[in-house]
Amino acid sequence: MRTETILKYANERVPRYTSYPTAPHFSPDLDARDYGQWLAGLDPNAPVSLYLHVPFCRTMCWYCGCHTKATRRIAPVDAYADILLKEIDTVANHTAARLKVSHIHWGGGSPTYLPPRRFEALMDRIRHRFDVLPDAEIAVEVDPRIFDDAMASAFVASGVTRASLGVQTFDDSVQRAVNRIQPRELVEECVDMLRDAGVTGLNFDLLYGLPLQTVENCIASARMALALRPDRFSVFGYAHVPHMKPHQSMIAENDLPGAAQRLAQADAIAGTLAAGGQVPIGLDHFARAGDELARALEAGALRRNFQGYTTDTAPAIIGLGASAIGWLPRGYVQNTAHTHDWERRVLNGELPTARGYRLTPEDRLRRSIIEQLMCTLSADPAALAAAAGLAVPQADLSAFQAAGIVAREGSRVIVDPAYRPLVRNVAAAYDERLQTSSARHAVAV
């Protein structure tokens, strides 16, 4: 019964709600001048987070959905790092005071493709222009195929505390089918190097829904991953959108598992991780019991942002690098995604803003309802609306209630954890901008 119910909704296209409103609703009307004012208005007493985007990889994985470019040449990566130094200065010049930083997240692409001395120089520049708090989390997305002793030393010198490893699958045939050859021994070596470098927090990313993936090889990969004792997992379903990501056409649609198989694979990975002591967090994350993320969930302090589930409670995230998205108290702002345009504008001393979104009180209310649902599978829209002094947003949950997906306790809306894969569908009922016919989002399961 549960399977049939989930499959009924599995092919709906719904956002991942790492923001609300979601990025397709950002507008070019919001420009560098607005962003400059927002930066100048940041409270110097409140810490901020920094997100740095590195849009380069050595080779392209066919499943990739990120904003990145494959290149074997290190020269463009080196040049990019130089411009990033300048963007750090430009942003710091726009703030009214030296800001405190509580979180730094390096994403991509492959931040570990940066030459190690460049990574260190960028971290030095951040420390020179901002007050990085002594207990700040400094997290880096790591490609185990491009990580070596020199980068491990750069991590030590820069005080990196957390690494997210793109593991995806340990199955050789699946790895070949998606152009990401990454033997188990290589991941083990990378984990050892990171631990030796004092990186105490480890996240693994796993994928399901890839060509040649089966329930059996998903379970085997999850078990191998557990044996390396990471603290956290993110488990994503492959989103096949070749109209947006042309390299994905290297994966034949006929080779992809169908919705029922995808659900079975997701369930199999979740069951394996739970049996290994991992606690489910929100839609698709897992954390070892006692991990900070699991504790934040228990304490009602879990947040969701562009990097997924997080303990980061800073009221502002400043995005740096081509395509990087920032999240400020007044709204969202995104840098131009065209690397040459980003470079030209930063070299001109400009903020390279391409678009953004100014939040209204109504948006903030809907955002908090959606964020609570995505984090805790539960929200009290009436209480949140009362606190905001606004009317309760209307949402038709009747079909979800009739199917047993959603229950109500007073004014509280509760998603049954058995239907966790559908929490985005429930959250979408509070999204007044969602066009359900839109193909811009990936399928629900």
Amino acid at 185: E
Token pair belonging to 1? 């019964």
Binding pattern for the stretch 398-427 against ligand SF4, x by CB under 6 A and - elsewhere: ------------------------------
- What minimum distance in Å lies between the beta carbon of 141 and ligand SF4? 8
Does residue 234 interact with ligand SF4 by CB under 6 A? no
Q: Which residues contact 379 (CB under 8 A, 6 or more apart)?
A: 368, 369, 370, 372, 373, 412, 413
Of the candidate spans 22-30, 64-72, 195-203, 262-270, the one that interacts with ligand SF4 by CB under 6 A turns out to be 64-72
Does residue 166 interact with ligand SF4 by CB under 6 A? yes
Query: How far apart are alpha carbons 42 and 316 in whole angstroms?
Result: 8
Does residue 136 interact with ligand SF4 by CB under 6 A? no
Does residue 60 interact with ligand SF4 by CB under 6 A? yes
Q: Which of 30, 52, 61, 218 binds ligand SF4 (CB under 6 A)?
A: 61
Does residue 182 interact with ligand SF4 by CB under 6 A? no
Does residue 81 interact with ligand SF4 by CB under 6 A? no
Q: Which of 108, 201, 282, 321 binds ligand SF4 (CB under 6 A)?
A: 108
For residue 378, the SS3 value is: strand
Does residue 203 interact with ligand SF4 by CB under 6 A? no
Does residue 74 interact with ligand SF4 by CB under 6 A? no
Query: How far apart are alpha carbons 272 and 222 in whole angstroms?
Result: 7
For residue 52, the SS3 value is: strand
- What minimum distance in Å lies between the beta carbon of 247 and ligand SF4? 8
Does residue 77 interact with ligand SF4 by CB under 6 A? no
Query: How far apart are alpha carbons 286 and 267 in whole angstroms?
Result: 13
Question: Closest CB to ligand SF4 among 36 and 209?
Answer: 209
User: Over the range 315-342, which residues count as b (16 or more CB within 10 Å of their CB) and which as e?
Assistant: ebbbbbbbbbbbbbebbbbbbbbebeeb
Does residue 140 interact with ligand SF4 by CB under 6 A? no
From the number of C-beta atoms within 10 Å of its C-beta (0-12, 13-18, 19+), residue 28 rates as exposed
Token pair belonging to 297? 């969930």
Question: Closest CB to ligand SF4 among 109 and 230?
Answer: 109
- What minimum distance in Å lies between the beta carbon of 86 and ligand SF4? 24
Does residue 205 interact with ligand SF4 by CB under 6 A? no
Does residue 68 interact with ligand SF4 by CB under 6 A? yes
Q: What does the binding site for ligand SF4 look like in residue numbers (CB under 6 A)?
A: 57, 60-61, 64, 66, 68, 108-110, 143, 166
